Structure 1
Amino acid sequence: MVNRYLSDIAEGCSSICVERNPWDKAVSAFYFWMHQRGTQINDASALFLSFCRTRLKFFSDFHLYSEGGEIAVDRVLRYESLDSDLAQVLDDFGLGDVSLGDKRLNSGIRKSKQFDVFYGENWDGEAVDLVADLFRREIDAFGYQLPTAEEPGAVGQTAS
């Protein structure tokens, strides 16, 4: 979009964005959505499944940094490794030691990282496939995978 509407300003600039593991992003988006509406989360599993079926599609950002299905920005930083990815970008630009410091990467709305509530104990719930379908482009582009048996509940792994 920037290149289309602000090409005279964007010329010579680097474009950078941040992407997040879709299964983690979905849970975070769920908490954000519920918090913004003041919705009490009594049955997280059922509410999350309903959210995935009806609202999650609004949280894919792939179209914002791609064109024709191809990534159109210079770099995509990963939320799960934001400190190191940002440090690398800043180093590449010769900006040296800049850190996020104590800045929070999230709002604190999300109370739990227990993914089994949302995806099932063995990552076999319906929501797993809904997220995979809705974020197929991100998963394919960045190699995001479900957690392995060795790291139950871990999200953010990528293929090597």
Structure 2
Amino acid sequence: MIISHRYRFIFVRTRKVASSSLEVCLSGLLTPDDFATPQTERDQGMKAGESTVKPRIFHGFTRHGLPLFISGHAPLTKAYQLFGSRIADYRVIAAERDPWDRAVSVFYWSHRKTDMKSRPLTEQIVAFREFVQRTGAPRSLLQRMGLGSHRFVSQRALYSIGRVSMVDSLLRFECLDQDLATLSVDLGLDKPLSVKGISAKVGFRAKGQEDLRVFHDDATRAFVAAECKWEIDHYGYDFITRGLPHYSPDPARHAAKADYISRFGRR
């Protein structure tokens, strides 16, 4: 997560949507007074002197006396707990991706330290289908508390309060350059943002294995559809047509945000 006070935005890092590359890109806008969680790829991607933000995880205590830890993939609500009304009107930026495609990407990322992508394709497919059913959604109490959430096919909880999305600017994985160009105008930047030339956390997926129909059977397709029903309904993702998603900010986000900050934000 990064927060720019100068440009008044909050970037929430959802998983497997080029978020590391996006954070490297957006970090060029940071000043020493801004906020950033630790992120190795961002720090490595920055040139010396580009930003003097000093990331840290522990940020004292919440309004109710609990320790406040904010990691790279922390939910937006953590930012509101820390800064309260100071950032209530900041633009919320997040990225999304076709959930069936994300499931495949998560599978390969989770097996990046194994020989998975060099195994016969039939073995990869069997392993993928078992993996999705076993880890793709919170089942146990610990999982519902966030354990293993990097494997969940839905990432909506990171940028929502309850069932209301807080996102003002959605970066669609399928057309990042187009959406970054729009965001650049919205932020009043002189030059358009771009992730071209930035390749953080890439190369883990087996080459030539982009056809989702090869990986998904009826069971995994239905599983992802059930877990990501909100995303499919709101963004228009479709397993067959694979058309570009669409997005409109939720009008209820302002009231939901104000209510949350009034109850949990630091004063």
The answer to whether the superposition gives a TM-score over 0.5 is: yes
2:163 to 69, 75, 82: 69
| 1:144 equivalent in structure 2 | 237
| 1:151 equivalent in structure 2 | none
Deviation digits for residues 97-155 of structure 1 (CA, Å, limit 9, x no counterpart):
232222237511112213232125xxxx321111111211211121111123xxxxxx4
**Whole-angstrom distance in 1 between the partners of 2:201 and 2:238:** 22
Query: Structure 2 vs 1, CA of residues 126 and 105 (structure 1 numbering), >3 Å: closer, same or farther?
Result: farther
Q: Are the counterparts in 2 of residues 44 and 117 from structure 1 also a CA contact under 8 Å?
A: no
Q: For 1:16, what is the secondary structure of its paired residue?
A: strand
**Whole-angstrom distance in 1 between the partners of 2:235 and 2:246:** 8
Query: Structure 2 vs 1, CA of residues 157 and 106 (structure 1 numbering), >3 Å: closer, same or farther?
Result: farther
Q: Are the counterparts in 1 of residues 116 and 124 from structure 2 also a CA contact under 8 Å?
A: no
- Give % identity: 31
Query: Structure 2 vs 1, CA of residues 53 and 61 (structure 1 numbering), >3 Å: closer, same or farther?
Result: same
1:24 to 101, 121, 124: 101
Q: Are the counterparts in 2 of residues 18 and 78 from structure 1 also a CA contact under 8 Å?
A: yes
Cα root mean square deviation, aligned: 2.2
Structure 1 gaps, min length 5: 149-154
Matches within 5 A, 1:74-153: 74-95=168-189, 96-104=191-199, 107-111=202-206, 112-120=209-217, 125-148=218-241
Q: For 2:111, what is the secondary structure of its paired residue?
A: helix
| 1:33 equivalent in structure 2 | 110
| 2:126 equivalent in structure 1 | 46
Query: Structure 2 vs 1, CA of residues 17 and 159 (structure 1 numbering), >3 Å: closer, same or farther?
Result: closer
Deviation digits for residues 68-110 of structure 1 (CA, Å, limit 9, x no counterpart):
2111122221111111101101111111323222223751111
Q: Are the counterparts in 2 of residues 15 and 74 from structure 1 also a CA contact under 8 Å?
A: yes
Shift in Å, 1:159: 6.6
Query: Structure 2 vs 1, CA of residues 19 and 118 (structure 1 numbering), >3 Å: closer, same or farther?
Result: same
Query: Structure 2 vs 1, CA of residues 146 and 116 (structure 1 numbering), >3 Å: closer, same or farther?
Result: closer
Q: Are the counterparts in 2 of residues 145 and 157 from structure 1 also a CA contact under 8 Å?
A: no
Q: For 1:35, what is the secondary structure of its paired residue?
A: coil
Q: Are the counterparts in 2 of residues 17 and 73 from structure 1 also a CA contact under 8 Å?
A: yes
**Whole-angstrom distance in 2 between the partners of 1:40 and 1:132:** 25
Query: Structure 2 vs 1, CA of residues 72 and 35 (structure 1 numbering), >3 Å: closer, same or farther?
Result: same
Q: Larger C-alpha radius of gyration, 1 or 2?
A: 2
